[in-house]
Structure 1
Amino acid sequence: METEQHIIDRSLISADRIEEAIYMIRGRRVILDYDLARLYGVSTTRLNEQVKRNRKRFPNDFMFRLTDGEFVRLMSQIAISNLRRGGRRKLPFAFTEHGVVMLASVLNSSVAVDASIHVVRAFVQLRTMVATHSELLRKLKEIDEKIGEHDTVMWLLFEAIKQLMESPSIDRDEERPRIGFIART
């Protein structure tokens, strides 16, 4: 039978909640240790202990510790505990998509496995959204270029019309040589 804690944690596992916990740091999409601990139904302390025990499973492209500057910027964006009020003493770990999967195998609980599946799906969904966004930007650029070409053609057309309008009109009253046959009588 599941405990109430696991039921609460599973209710936290929604794509929207996971996407809100994904941040762009150092050009990578990551989730902080605190958010993963909540999703996996463990304490942040236990999660970090397991990471330390299995450090070889977490190379730098799977996980890294935030710098002071990154942490300060992140604190201004989200609600992270204040160090002066008994909050975190160490800088948080940031886990990439691969680190999230590895962490689930290290924690080895059904909640962690379920949560990691949802987290990976959220990462994939974000990647798809970015690809779609890139495709839209490319198409907009193409349209902009075509409009630019059309503007050039329209400008040339208007210039030709102006030249035709400004050209000297032929005065019909002035004497000019006759064209055609002259009938002899």
Structure 2
Amino acid sequence: MRVDELLKVAICNLKDRARAAPQVPPPSVFTEHGAIMAATLLNSPRATELSVYVVRAFVELRGMLASNRELAGKVHALERKVSVHERNIAELVDSMANLLTTPQTPPKRPIGFVHPQEKTDKPACKTISKASKKT
């Protein structure tokens, strides 16, 4: 292989590796362990004394964060329950409103024989016209 071919292969390899490697941003905060390590680098009594306070503050913050997460989880669960109940109540109110506003059906005709005198919309007996008698 020539030098220019080797360079092309090497550049392609580097590009493939760069694509495959995850892009992780550098950390922007210290943990309590990082604070202790920084204090040991300084190697002074004041630095070690302050590192103890820093570790205590980190432990307290972690406890507060954990309790807030629990509280946030409980609030979220309550919100879900309330939204479900709210939907159910809205459905009940809608169905009750439908029941209250449903028009009543007109009275049905009675089944069976109806006496001619009880009929008000039609004459009691049929009259035969003269035209029908001739046939």
TM-score normalised by structure 1 residue count: 0.39
Distance 1:27 1:106, change over 3 A: closer
Alignment gaps of 5+ in structure 2: 1-24, 112-135
1:166 corresponding residue in structure 2? 101
Q: Give the C-alpha shift of residue 132 in structure 1.
A: 2.0
Contact 1:97 1:123 in 2 (8 A): yes
Larger radius of gyration: 2
Quote the Cα distance in structure 2 between the aligned partners of 1:174 and 1:103.
Answer: 93
2:47 corresponding residue in structure 1? 112
1:29 corresponding residue in structure 2? 29
The structure showing larger relative contact order (alpha-carbon pairs under 8 Å, at least 6 residues apart) is: 1
Q: Give the C-alpha shift of residue 120 in structure 1.
A: 0.7
Q: Give the C-alpha shift of residue 98 in structure 1.
A: 1.8
Q: Deviation string for 1:67-95 (max 9, x for gaps)?
A: xxxxxxxxxxxxxxxxxxxxxxxxxxxxx
Q: Give the C-alpha shift of residue 27 in structure 1.
A: 6.0
Distance 1:140 1:26, change over 3 A: farther
Alignment of 1:35-184 (within 5 A): 96-169=31-104
Distance 1:176 1:28, change over 3 A: farther
Query: RMSD of the TM alignment (CA)?
Result: 2.8
Between structures 1 and 2, the one with greater strand share:
1
Between structures 1 and 2, the one with greater helix share:
2
Alignment gaps of 5+ in structure 1: 1-24, 31-95, 178-185
**Aligned partner of residue 29 in structure 2, secondary structure:** strand
